[in-house]
A and B are shown apart, each in its own frame.
Chain A
Amino acid sequence: MTRRVAITGLGVVAPNGIGVPGFVDALLAGRSGIRPVTLFDPASLPTRIAGEVKEAPPAPLPDRKIGFALAAAREAFQQACSSGSVPVGRGGLSLGVGLELFSMDDLVEQRRGRPLPSAAVERLSFMQTPSDLCAHFLSQAHGLTLPPLLHVSACAAGTDAVGAGFRRVRSGRADFMLVGGTDSMINPLGMAGFASLNATSTRNQEPERASRPFERGRDGFVLGEGAGMLVLEAWESALARGAKPLGELVGYGSSLDAHGISEPHPEGRGAAQAMARALADARLSATDISAINAHGTATPKNDPLETVAIHRVFGQHAKNTPISATKSMIGHLISAAGAVEAVAALGCMNAGFVHPTINLDEPDPSCDLDYVPHHARRHQQSYVLSSSYGFGGHNAAIVLRGQEAALAAE
């Protein structure tokens, strides 16, 4: 069985906007959400800036990523149900989720052999909650009765979650899926871990200008936090219950680099494989793609190799394809990145624009494509490819079809 897969709901919690309308407006305005860290005192860490979510939604546990996920899912379902009917049949969850992290104070106490609290909530706080708990909160909140799919493929997890959920609906194994990702690594261990790898920008004096994908002076990524959620359902079922699809998910591909622990394949092999597989899965050619939402981390290694991979897959069409890097405005949301960027891609496509890559003052000579510098651009789009590449060689890409094109194909 192969079915069309409608996107009927979107939800987002991002550093530059909570809620899809505000988020898309911020992206099109080129508004950065990168600021000095306030969640804790970063003291003299090399990186002291991040994309924090202001006014974080409440959560049942002291773990920000749970609150982000619940709020984004609530928004996505409200939109999916705006016609007055609800998705029907067997529903499930496919979630990219960040690491369980540890309170440094708890680690010190544990190391000293001191007893830790045993009450239910506190019992879970030592690990700042095992990450899989988030899936159970979401499933309970929305009555999702299929076993949740949890993805921990690092920075590709959000895109993998969207793709795996898409495959379940397309194949008839699920009737609807809540898919997305949530993460927050803006904590001492998370920030320090990336800083010790020299992976994050140290442009602390000008936070909004620190995330510079594809730019000559880029010096690493900036951590962000948040969640992106989409409701996917069988196209015919969505129409039958009166829902108006916001777009369509048409392809997913993933690959393993099988290369180095800390660097991508030098010819962008894995990234190219993931994009090519997503296109093949969608039965499209590269020339069908109107725009790309890039992984675009602003690390010295990623951006040129991602450019190489795009050249490999898109050939001559690469030069004609606008490429946007959402991370220039919100930072790198790690396990949530791909899902938030899928929301960005679809939201902007439906608005008739590609959002800018901000801070792209002087392109890196090895990044020779059209990255939509500084300002949003009106651009009619039928299909957008959105990609994510994770540390450890996990590569994922999805292809989204915009609302107008999807409805026209009906």
Chain B
Amino acid sequence: MIAVTGASSVALGPGDPRTLEPTAFLRAKKTRKFMGTQDDLAVIAAAGALEQAGLQAPQLGERAGLFAVVGYIPFNRDDIDPVLESSLDGERFSMTRFSSGGFQRAHPLLTFRCLPNMPAFHVSANFDLQGPYFVSYPGPGQVYSALEEAHILLQDGTIDCAVVLAVAHQRNFLVEHHFSRLSPPVPVTELWDAAACLILERPESAAARGAATRATLRSLEHRYAPHDALTSERATREILTGVAQPPGERGPALLLTAVAEAVRAHAATEVEHRLQTRDHVSAHSTWQVHG
């Protein structure tokens, strides 16, 4: 049994303006320019969850681990377009032009805004997480791996606090294109930008510091079937009971979002999540949310 002492989520659906503003949570404001949408989402979700758990930097440090799952890589069109513009010879890509200047048209650090380990960096740097970590990708099946890793390190006493994070920037030309080419495809209108974060602790650790247990992770099952990845045409299905299904395709963020939404509702309920993914992961978890 693992206690959830903080939970938070953030999402932007189709047509929503990009209004994310994480600056208030940044220890070094100058890092703002290096943050992409997935980093904004991650920092905001983590800030909300840590605040609800009553945890701040001095209490975290070496005893806090980070377990993050990030969606498909969202190269920013605004970053890559100038590079391509300067790398064309007529209508064709020219290595000569690319190598003689095209590649320098984007600020090199700006490319970091899409890398899958960057949300983990920004969350760790801004909330002083110095413990062990697990950084994975790209979908909801890997969230179960993150929960397992967090569970292992909490139970063996390596850490006192696990920050479990799922984030995906999907309203992005490259990610949209990728989903449109899956079989079966996911329409662009279904894709959301989303992040959610849970703070997990051993119940006795949470009680010792006087933290309220908002929910309890009661069970976790995680299975996999090896398969031919080239011919598989299975769609990802996530079924939730005990809480309203958050709308849209949220990449890895749906489960943690649902738990955060249930916690936010302040009503006792059991949340059950069943998952079958296109990569043949099947998983099941139950969460008792305390009113």
Binding site for B on A (CB under 8 A): 40-45, 60-61, 99-100, 102, 104-105, 107-108, 110-112, 116, 118, 120-121, 123-124, 126-127, 130-133, 136-137, 139-140, 143-154, 157, 160, 164, 167, 171, 173, 188, 192-193, 195-197, 253-262, 269-270, 273, 277, 390-394
* B203 beta carbon closer than 8 Å to chain A: no
* B286 beta carbon closer than 8 Å to chain A: no
Q: Is the CB of A130 within 8 A of B100?
A: no
Q: Is the CB of A258 within 8 A of B99?
A: no
Interfacial residues of chain B within 143-174, with CB under 8 A of chain A in the complex: 144-145, 148-149, 152, 156, 173-174
Q: Is the CB of B181 within 8 A of A262?
A: no
For A136, what are the chain B residues with a Cβ–Cβ distance below 8 Å? 226-227, 229, 279-280
For A60, what are the chain B residues with a Cβ–Cβ distance below 8 Å? 230
For A123, what are the chain B residues with a Cβ–Cβ distance below 8 Å? 181, 183
Q: A152-B117, A256-B66, A394-B135 are in contact. Are A43 and B100 (CB under 8 A)?
A: yes
Q: Is the CB of B84 within 8 A of A150?
A: no
Q: A121-B230, A188-B98 are in contact. Are A147 and B136 (CB under 8 A)?
A: no
* B192 beta carbon closer than 8 Å to chain A: no
Binding site for A on B (CB under 8 A): 31, 34, 62, 66, 70, 72-73, 75, 80-81, 84, 87-88, 91-93, 95-96, 98-100, 103-104, 106, 108-109, 111-112, 115-118, 120-121, 124-125, 127-139, 141-142, 144-145, 148-149, 152, 156, 173-174, 177-178, 181, 183, 222-231, 279-281, 283
Which of these, A116, A126, A151, A195, contacts B136 with CB under 8 Å?
Answer: A151
- Tell me, in angstroms, the Cα distance from A221 to B281 when the chains sit together: 38
Q: Is the CB of A126 within 8 A of B121?
A: no
- Tell me, in angstroms, the Cα distance from A167 to B149 when the chains sit together: 9
Selected A-B contacts with CB under 8 Å, 27 pairs: A42-B95, A44-B96, A100-B72, A105-B92, A111-B84, A116-B177, A118-B181, A120-B230, A126-B181, A127-B72, A131-B138, A140-B228, A140-B229, A143-B226, A145-B225, A146-B224, A153-B117, A154-B115, A192-B98, A255-B130, A256-B129, A258-B125, A261-B121, A262-B109, A393-B125, A394-B117, A394-B120
Q: Is the CB of B84 within 8 A of A107?
A: yes
For A130, what are the chain B residues with a Cβ–Cβ distance below 8 Å? 72, 138, 178
Name the distance in Å between A115's Cβ and chain B's nearest Cβ.
Answer: 11
Q: A120-B231, A140-B228 are in contact. Are A270 and B130 (CB under 8 A)?
A: yes
Q: Is the CB of B99 within 8 A of A42?
A: yes
Q: Is the CB of A133 within 8 A of B98?
A: no
Q: Is the CB of A261 within 8 A of B109?
A: yes
Q: Is the CB of B99 within 8 A of A45?
A: yes
For A140, what are the chain B residues with a Cβ–Cβ distance below 8 Å? 226-229
- Tell me, in angstroms, the Cα distance from A348 to B132 when the chains sit together: 29
Which of these, A143, A146, A153, A260, contacts B120 with CB under 8 Å?
Answer: A153
For B111, what are the chain A residues with a Cβ–Cβ distance below 8 Å? 193, 196
What residue in chain A is nearest B145 (Cβ atoms)?
A149
With a 10 A CB-CB cut-off, give which of B72, B73, B127 has the most chain A CB atoms: B73
What residue in chain A is nearest B34 (Cβ atoms)?
A261
Q: Is the CB of B91 within 8 A of A112?
A: yes
Q: A147-B222, A152-B135, A392-B121 are in contact. Are A261 and B130 (CB under 8 A)?
A: no
What residue in chain A is nearest B87 (Cβ atoms)?
A104
Q: Is the CB of A105 within 8 A of B227?
A: no
Nearest 7 A-B pairs (CB), nearest first? A192-B103, A43-B99, A392-B121, A136-B229, A147-B224, A256-B124, A196-B108
